[in-house]
Copies of this chain bind each other. A is one copy, B any other.
Amino acid sequence: MSAFRLAEIPIDGAALGRELASASAGACVSFEGWVRNHNQGKAVQRLAYQAYPALALAEGERILAETAARFAIEQALCVHRVGDLAIGDLAVWVGVSAAHRDAAFAACRHVIDEIKARVPIWKNEFYADGFSGWLHPDGSPVAE
């Protein structure tokens, strides 16, 4: 199975963690991105993620391969949700196993930073005032 995946149904972080299991790994660091009820001072009611699947899968896989080459890790996995999400839902999961924790922390952080910066996935926030908006990587609204 690919290391980077898109999911249209809820992500099962525990099952993903089991995929990382290894007798030679001493550390596993995971990051979960949750749908937060506020952004830049506005109350958020729900989110929708839209992806360009072919390119998102290719770019996600590239990020995980680069990460495996750069850090002393055993394995890195990432799953990103698409579609409609509610407050508290798991939007993205990253897990990294390694012999030691230095590499596991650094690689996990690297993966989520690169995913946010490079993978063609877009977040549409729906606000309490009835408006919605597509966001930039820094959380600010797209001008258009």
> Which residues of A line the B interface, CB within 8 A?
13-14, 17, 21-38, 87-88, 97, 99, 101, 104-105, 108-109, 112
A101 to chain B, nearest CB (A): 7
Q: With a CB–CB cut-off of 8 A, which chain B residues contact A30?
A: 29-30, 32
Q: Could you tell me the distance between the alpha carbons of A25 and B25 in the complex, rounded to whole angstroms?
A: 29
| CB-based nearest B residue for A21 | B88
Chain A contact surface mostly: mixed
Contact at B23–A36, with CB atoms within 8 Å?
Answer: yes
Copies of this chain, tallied across the complex: 2
Q: Could you tell me the distance between the alpha carbons of A21 and B33 in the complex, rounded to whole angstroms?
A: 11
Contact at A33–B26, with CB atoms within 8 Å?
Answer: yes
Q: With a CB–CB cut-off of 8 A, which chain B residues contact A29?
A: 29-32, 108
Q: Could you tell me the distance between the alpha carbons of A84 and B15 in the complex, rounded to whole angstroms?
A: 25
Q: Could you tell me the distance between the alpha carbons of A23 and B104 in the complex, rounded to whole angstroms?
A: 27
Q: With a CB–CB cut-off of 8 A, which chain B residues contact A28?
A: 31-32, 34
A36 to chain B, nearest CB (A): 4
Contact at B17–A27, with CB atoms within 8 Å?
Answer: no
Contact at B24–A38, with CB atoms within 8 Å?
Answer: yes
A94 to chain B, nearest CB (A): 9
